[in-house]
Amino acid sequence: FQTLQDEIKALPIDLLNVQDWLCLNDILNWNGLLHSGYVSREKAVDLAITQGKENPKKKDILKTALKAALDRNNKTLIDEFLGNLKKICPDAIDVRELESCCELMNGNLETFRQKWPHPASTAEHSFRKYINHKTVGIVGPGYYSEDHLDNTRDFDVHVRINWRNNATDNTVNPKKTKIDVTLYNAHSARLMLTKPSISEHLQELDFCLIRRQNSNFQHTNNSRFAIRKISEYPGSLYKSLNAIPAMLFDCILNGSSRVKIYNADFYSRNKHHHAGYRNTESHIDNLRPKLRNLQPVMANHDLIGQIKMMRNLANKSIIELDARLSEVILSWSDQNYISTVFSNLISNLKNESKHGS
């Protein structure tokens, strides 16, 4: 593996364009070569920054360069690329979105909210009124004990990711926790439509949030709970965020006073999720970090990019992390994180070989 990494490092940066370096990152990650993928990703970031400096009047190049600068958390480059973008297209919605993201990453929360260019819909006004100045605890689907849930009772709003209100979600103890809001990805939204009565399953919630418009799902709306599409973070170099960082961005945008994440370690443990999260049978344990389980995640999300984004927000005290996630994001380097995910994959592969599974 080290030979491949060294060979990719030795390649001239202009051999590929930015998108092709990122495509190579995808190919390598898909095949479990995470360290080599990281090298390719860093080549893409370096090239994007270089091209941004060389092309101060080309919007698309500057947008990619600005996202690369946000990825590196380099304020000097952020200011340079954003300044050039505002010179050539100050009123463009996508530029104004990125400008607001820059304010967020600089820790200027009120300016970030004021500069967000999209007028609030009726549903957004309702959610903003609901969450403004409130504390929010976001509980992820990681593999954990119920002790993690005790601390979340002190928050005004308790968010669960892809909550399905079924027997397989054995992490929920009604005596220990409450659930006010859930965020569904597209897969979970489709799954919930197969329930006999989706409204019945959602009666305990105040809000049901989604990431993609789904007319069939949204027709289940009633007076007890509201369905709303969240605002997505536009500053990622490529791909979308996982549900948890996407949710925290939306909470911050809509005025929450405090956001803390529990029970999420972003694939850095030997088990990625609690039993039943992806299965309908809670006793089925196929959630170990097999490569085929991680491939769909890497196909849709940039694991390193979102770690960097949350690290920046945590370092500026904009978000809080539980002990495990704090270790992963604040104490580990990017390479350490990749090595841990990779080691878990290799360990599982060896165990499968031993048992012939």
* Res 304 pLDDT > 50: yes
- Residue 356: the pLDDT is 52
Average pLDDT over residues 296-304: 90
Query: Contact, 337 vs 307, CB < 8 A?
Result: yes
Position 272 confidence tier, pLDDT thresholds 50, 70, 90 = confident
Position 193 confidence tier, pLDDT thresholds 50, 70, 90 = confident
* Res 173 pLDDT > 80: no
Residue 303's CB is within 10 A of a number of other CB atoms, namely 24
Phi and psi at 292, nearest 5°, equal -65, -25
* Res 222 pLDDT > 80: no
Distance of CA 1 to the CA centre of its chain: 28
* Res 12 pLDDT > 60: yes
Average pLDDT over residues 201-228: 74
Query: Contact, 254 vs 127, CB < 8 A?
Result: yes
Pairwise CA distance, residues 98 & 262, whole Å: 28
* Structure tokens, 349: 């592969």
| Interhelix angle 243-253/303-315, nearest 10 degrees | 40
Pairwise CA distance, residues 199 & 203, whole Å: 6
* Res 214 pLDDT > 80: no
* Res 219 pLDDT > 70: no
Position 349 confidence tier, pLDDT thresholds 50, 70, 90 = low
- Residue 351: the pLDDT is 59
